Amino acid sequence: MKLRQKIILLAITPLILALCAIALAVRHQATSLGQQQRASIQTAYLASKKAELTHYVTLATRSIAQLYESGRTDAATLDQAKAILAKLDYGDDGYFFVYDQQGKNIMHPRQPELVGQNLWNMKDADGSLTIQNLISRANEGGGFVRYQWVKPSSHNTAPKLGYVVALPNWGWVLGTGIYLDDVNDALAKIDAQISGNIESTMLWIAAIAILSAVAVALSGLVLNISEHRVTDAKLKVLAQRVVLSQEEERARLSRDLHDGISQWLVSIKLQIEAGIIKLAGTPEQSASARSTFERTAAQLNDVLGEVRRISHDLRPAILDDLGLAAALEHLAHEFMAHTATPTDFNAVGTADGLPDVVNTVLFRVAQEALTNIERHAGARQISMRLEGNSRCVTLTVCDDGVGFDVDHIDGHPKRGIGLRNMTERLEAVDGKLSLTSSSNGTTVLAAVLRH
């Protein structure tokens, strides 16, 4: 395999792997959110149906309350009550039914052939003793029962949610129910929509992956064509510079983002997801969602402020305009204003004539040192000193904080990111970082030789 083909392959492979990982994460998250949405909708829908059934039965009992409370149990009174209940239907499949305590059907406006039959031992398609369960629940004070029953409009057996109450003076069990096949159809549509959205997202990611791979491949070909006459030695130097540039950029992004914006964004994401779920819930949950979104908006303002701060820190104008000493003095004043910790700065000799990259490195070292002091040291006094002569320039940052175990932090793979960043920056300009720490405080010394 030729060198140019290896370069293209090395560029495309990480991209494809990253996009595959993103696709898997997106699919998992979308599936999880879809399941949560389905469960929330199902819960809310059933809650509304239960409230509706309770209302219907209450309306039915009130419609015959005058007859029931009269104390009469003669056939004429009972027939009058049955006639009233038979007229209280709602829709094609909404009706009331009446059974006695022995399971005999007394009234059924949609299936009159059942009237007079004893259905005590009747079982539904699931093997449940439907009528016995209805009578038992009514005698317990009333409640809901799930069972299978023939749907009048389609003449097909469908799941049903019934609500029954007892009328003990007449020995009746009065109830009604709502068929749940409509609920299942609605949930099936939601499942289909979620699956369609996931599939569409996967197709978009696949398209992006293909286009990105093609773009990388074409870019590599164009680069190879334009650099065809470059010697092997120059190619090696260029490859080294590309690798170094990538590592420097990754290190810079890690320093700027590992403690701030990513954590905020995760918190904002979780709050938005919680708010969306609440919106599908009860009115109280919907009201709570508003406060969640207001809190999220406030956090977004904080994120924007952090982005502006990072943008400013990327390249402070005062460093180019007035030099390193002025930039460090301004940094000390800003830090003192931000943390209320006394911060002194002194400049001895001259640091003029340093390359811009060295000025930037020393400024970044001072920034990182102050950041570490703010987060970990608990210092009451900080001092910075910039000293320059004809041979070297040194930057010293001292604090009287709690200190730390230098060897432990330096050897820990997940800690000391800021210290490693300072060391890497100085090594890139042939500088050196020295660090001493005890319970009396910490001293950071950065030295760069003049060339």
What residue ranges in 370-430 does DSSP mark as E strands? 382-388, 392-399
* Chain centre to alpha carbon of residue 433: 40
- Number of Cβ within 10 Å of residue 347's Cβ equals 17
Which position has the higher pLDDT, 226 or 330? Answer: 330
Residue whose token pair is 């009048």: 152
pLDDT score at 101: 93
How much is the average pLDDT of 238-265?
A: 59
Separation between Cα atoms, residue 303 and residue 261, nearest integer Å: 6
pLDDT tens for each residue of 290-305: 788 788 888 788 777 7
Query: Which pLDDT band holds residue 135 (cuts at 50, 70, 90)?
Result: very high
* Least confident span in 77-91, 150-164, 227-241: 227-241
Residue-level pLDDT at 256: 62
| CA proximity to 281, closest of 34, 33, 43 | 43
β partners of residue 388? 349, 393
- Name the residue ranges covered by the structural domains of the chain: 64-179, 260-314, 318-449
Other CB atoms within 10 Å distance of the CB of residue 106 = 20
Which tops the pLDDT comparison, 111 or 316?
A: 111
Q: What percent of the chain has pLDDT over 70?
A: 85
Check if the beta carbon of residue 395 is closer than 8 Å to that of residue 346.
no
Our measurement of the distance from residue 438's CA atom to the centroid of its chain's CA atoms, rounded to an integer in Å, reads 41
More confident residue, 397 or 29: 397
Contacts of 356 (CB under 8 A, 6+ apart): 320
105-107/143-151 β-pairing: unpaired
Say whether 77 sits in a helix, a strand or coil.
Answer: helix
pLDDT tens digits, residue range 143-168? 999 999 998 888 888 999 999 999 99
**Is residue 100 left, alpha or beta, with left meaning phi > 0 and alpha meaning psi from -120 to 50?**
beta
Report long-range pairs for 232-237 (Cβ below 8 Å, ≥24 apart). 235/3
- Rounded-to-integer distance, Cα 451 and Cα 448, Å: 9
Q: Which residues of 120-151 are buried (b: 16+ CB within 10 A; e: fewer)?
A: bebebeeeebbbebbbebbeeebebbebbbeb
Rounded to an integer, the average pLDDT of 336-347 is 88
Tell me the C-alpha distance between 160 and 406, whole Å: 70
Q: Which residues pair with 161 in a beta bridge?
A: 146, 178
CATH entry, 64-179, from 3.30.1490.100, 1.10.3720.10, 3.30.450.20, 3.30.70.3170: 3.30.450.20
pLDDT over 50 (residue 405): yes
The number of beta carbons lying within 10 Å of the beta carbon of residue 438 is 12
Alpha-carbon span 142 to 132, nearest angstrom: 13
Position 250 scores a pLDDT of 60
Q: Quick one: which of 197, 175, 165 has its CA closest to 38?
A: 197
Give residues with Cβ within 8 angstroms of 364, minimum separation 6: 421, 422, 425
> Does residue 57 have a pLDDT over 90?
yes
Output 172 or 274, whichever has higher pLDDT. Answer: 172
Q: Given this model, what pLDDT does residue 234 score?
A: 60
* Reported confidence tier of residue 257, pLDDT bands at 50, 70, 90: low
Torsion of CA 360, 361, 362, 364, to 10 degrees: 80
Q: What is the DSSP string of 208-244?
A: HHHHHHHHHHHHHHHHHHHTTTS-HHHHHHHHHHHHH
* Pick from 253, 270, 266: nearest CA to 303: 266
**Predicted local confidence at residue 416, as pLDDT:** 61
Tell me the C-alpha distance between 118 and 103, whole Å.
Answer: 5
Residue 108 has a pLDDT of 93
350 neighbors 323 (Cβ within 8 angstroms)? no
Strands 172-179 and 156-167, bridge-based pairing? antiparallel
- pLDDT tens by residue, 170-220: 999 999 999 888 777 777 787 788 778 878 888 888 888 788 778 877 776
318-449 CATH, one of 1.20.140.160, 3.90.1580.10, 3.30.565.10, 3.40.50.2300: 3.30.565.10
Counting beta carbons within 10 angstroms of the beta carbon of residue 8, is it exposed (0 to 12), middle (13 to 18) or buried (19 or more)? Answer: buried
Task: Please state, in angstroms and rounded to a whole number, the distance separating the CA atoms of residues 8 and 166.
Answer: 79
First-to-last alpha carbon distance for the chain, in angstroms, is: 43
Q: Write out pLDDT tens, residues 362-377.
A: 888 888 888 888 888 8
Residue 317 has pLDDT above 70, yes or no: no
Cβ neighbours for 224, distance < 8 A, ≥ 6 positions apart: 4, 7
* Residue 436, C-beta contacts closer than 8 angstroms, at least 6 positions apart: 406, 442, 443
Mean pLDDT, rounded, of the chain: 82
CA-CA distance, 244 to 264, in Å (whole number)?
30
Burial category of 79 from C-beta neighbours within 10 Å (exposed 0-12, middle 13-18, buried 19 and up): exposed
- Across the beta sheet with 382-388, the strand order is 343-349, 382-388, 392-399, 441-449, 431-438
